[in-house]
Amino acid sequence: MYFKNYLLLLFGFIVTGCAKQYPISGKLMCTDENSKYRMYLIDPQEFDAVLSSYLGKVIDSAHVESGGRFYFNLNTLPKEDALLFVAVQPWDEKFPNKLNTDDLKEANFLPVIFNNKENIYITANADSVLHSASMKNPSAKNRAVLDFVKEYFNLLDKFDNFTSNVDEHSLIEKESNEFQLKKQIVESTLYQQDFTLTALAIRFAAPNGDYERIAEIIKNTCTTFQGNANGNPMYNQLCSKSKNLPLVPGDTFPVMQLPMLDGGEKSTSELWNNDLTLFDFWATWCAPCRKENTTTLVPLWTKENQNGFQIVGYALDSSENGWKNAIKKDGVDKWPHASHLQGDESPLFDALHIITIPSNYLVNKEGIIVAKNLHGETLRRFVTEYLNKKDKG
């Protein structure tokens, strides 16, 4: 009897001892049983490579077995709490570090936070890895990643439903809602106080690497994690971009000479001598800009100019006649206008670090930016409330 128990115990030890624990493994569900795949583990190594194709370093690969199982051996372990991407590729893919980001519901990857004390087990559909992935008993950090991904898709669905019928005349409203979406995407991670997760969220908010419209988000993130990024190299990589991002509220508007509509020149410091000045950036060929001229700016100036509100128009145009005709046609000749008449080349845009219109900055009489890129009812409400506070103060 004792001998029998000893054999059972020995057998169990042998089985347990021989069962290899893979650091990262899982099962891939394939809709086409004839499709062949390989899995790759990609280390982005730097901020710009997060969610970017061809920039990350492949540190391991795994064959997907006939039942969909895959196993990464990871002979060389990444650093603790490293952000990695588990990506699935067709068997004949020439670029194993390719990440499909055109439609994230069909993305071929899942971000994970590696911890050498945790065995990560992933289950996902081959044609929608990010959207379908789950993990078995994830760590707190990987649970946070999964929760973020779920919240991201929830926010994206709301945004897509809202903008399904957008035309060129409602692009301003679409951009305003898109900014709010991106802000919510990043803010959904801040409670975790984990810079790696927030950096991932920023890349989800701007997978094409265009941060012009989310400059405030980037700069606020850098302030939030200052001294609290635990030496994460991505923190410095992200925050170094700030110097080339557009000015944000709290910054001082550039002081420079502008060529005016009447043929003279004025300094921007001469133009912001009202309680509140809107520097409006537009062009004759910009349909949303022209619509805003007539539906928002003219009524707003008419109502609030006598209360200390002024508008300064600046156009990205090259034709002086076309510029002057548009000003007259839109009825915006009530306020000052400037343009270098160099088309897309603009010294003022260079100083502001912007390239996109419609754009605007609201500046107080000290030249401090108090708000930016407000449009429609949001702009009207801000101007009225700001001037009312000034009167009460």
The string of pLDDT tens digits covering residues 121-154 is: 999 999 999 999 999 999 999 999 999 999 999 9
Q: With 80 as the cut, is the pLDDT of residue 168 above it?
A: no
Question: What pLDDT sits at residue 12?
Answer: 47
Q: With 50 as the cut, is the pLDDT of residue 50 above it?
A: yes
Question: What pLDDT sits at residue 7?
Answer: 46
**Least confident among 17-21, 57-61, 206-210:** 17-21
Question: What pLDDT sits at residue 97?
Answer: 97
Q: How far is CA 28 from CA 20, 62, 326, 359, in A?
A: 20, 12, 58, 46
Q: With 70 as the cut, is the pLDDT of residue 16 above it?
A: no
Q: With 90 as the cut, is the pLDDT of residue 6 above it?
A: no
Measured CA to CA, the distance from residue 48 to residue 247 in angstroms comes to: 21
Question: What pLDDT sits at residue 30?
Answer: 86
Nearest to 371 by CA among 222, 216, 265: 216
Question: What pLDDT sits at residue 185?
Answer: 95
Q: What mean pLDDT value characterizes the chain?
A: 91
Tell which wins on pLDDT, 17 or 226.
226
Q: With 70 as the cut, is the pLDDT of residue 4 above it?
A: no
pLDDT band for position 161 (cuts 50, 70, 90)? low
Q: Which residues contact 41 (CB under 8 A, 6 or more apart)?
A: 24, 58, 59, 60, 61, 62, 72, 74, 84, 85, 86, 87
pLDDT band for position 15 (cuts 50, 70, 90)? very low
Q: Please state the pTM of the whole predicted model.
A: 0.87
